[in-house]
Structure 1
Amino acid sequence: MSSSEIQIKEMVAHKWDLASETFDTHAGHGIQSKKERDAWKYAFLKVFPEKGLKILDVGCGTGELSLLFAEMGHEVTGIDISRKMLKTAESKAEACRANVTFEEGDAENPHFDASSFDIVFSRHLLWTLPNPKKAVVNWGKMLRKDGKVVIIDGVWDNGTLASRVRRNAGALVTLLVERKDPKKGHAGYSDELKAQLPHAGGAPLEKVKEYLSSAGLENIRIFDLKDVRKAQKEKMPLGERIVRSHQYYLICGRK
């Protein structure tokens, strides 16, 4: 890894350390209701209905979905670059007596052996990686035969004026009407850091399909998350509901 890449990842880790305390309070990050929890479970059962799978959650953050996978009967390991995110995840696992392993690790270069997992999962991660294609290739290597890479991501800022206006309007409504900080739970990357990331505004679906294909994964499928989004919007501030019209998807490929 080059010194430039190391510096980028140190900056990323620092930003998420700062965001860790309030991350779960943000709709779309922490699960806010039973309805949302059930919607996530239903979505995942369509992708991997089997029980007792070995799952690696890369960029697990506060472990929200790692814990959900454990609740569903899977053996889960979560890795993240942010130590404070992991500390929160460990506290949550201890509180609910969940048997999940959390470790500090680089999502682009996980340290696990080949053929170690049935599922390698990521949510809202590709946008913050300097080398997303490399990451997906490495995730594929860690899969057992017939295992799957499962990715949840989206595009919230496509660089257009309309996208910028919608985001600014949403932030203003949240601040003025609901008296809430619209940046709460977000890392707040600088323009300098964003310039080092190929998908700083979100990872487009077609590009992620290319990454999965390049990793040698087959039977690439896209799943509908409308029930999850509907449940999330019920708990979102008005300003965020204005913003949440962007592309959002679950996609997976099989080894």
Structure 2
Amino acid sequence: MQYDTTNKRTNTLRCWSLCWFLFYEKEPTERSGMALSEAEIEAMKVPYGRNQFKVSDGGGLYLLVKSSGRYWKLAYRFDGKQKTLAFGVHPTVGLDEAREKREAAKALLAQNIDPGEIRKQEREEIRASVEQKNSVTSAQESNQRSVQQRPAVIDDAEQQRLEGRRLRIIQILARTKNFTTNEATLLESLHSEGFHISFDRLRTDLAWLSEQHAIQLKCGALWGIYLTQPGLDASLGSVWIPGIRKPEFSTEQE
């Protein structure tokens, strides 16, 4: 007896079609007239072969069930357009809270107000509030840093020592050949005259004198230092540069 393989294939296809209809096509996407319960929501899982499905709670509110979670949505029409409003993720937003949000949205729609636009305005207000708060915080931190970085006010005695050291620097330069030297030689000269300062302190003094145009600097491994005409005049007392002590009349001039 010859077995009919054609009928076997046909029956197999019919069986698979029936299984698909029972297990997938019958999976509800809308439940008219049936409200959800928390127990039903907790038991919901995405069927094999599906990415997501929707379950309605009525009044446009539905739960979008995905492998990544369950998301509350509200489907509504406004100004002739179909729109969707997100209410949050279950269980962070529970069933009762989602229904309250639905009723609040329906109340806005009854007044011809788009709840989606209200949501956008709320987000903009929150964003503006956060930006303003961050701006105020940044300004406060900047002011605090400015106060912390502000140089400390020195007393009169320290100011006199500082101005005297600046005078001695330009006087040493005035005695050098061609009115030029380097910072290493200058530091040795200062130490020999009782000005025991560090290399960094010397560079700070030189930078200040350069800003006052009393000297010129040529930066390199060792700074080259050149006395300018205003610096020479200040060393002789013929001009006065504020911040540099005026030389005494008894000061030796060469």
TM category (shorter chain) comes to under 0.3
TM normalised by structure 2 equals: 0.16
TM normalised by structure 1 equals: 0.16
Instruction: Give the greater-gyration-radius structure (CA).
Output: 2
- Specify which structure has the higher proportion of helix: 2
Q: Greater relative contact order (Cα 8 A, min sep 6): structure 1 or 2?
A: 1
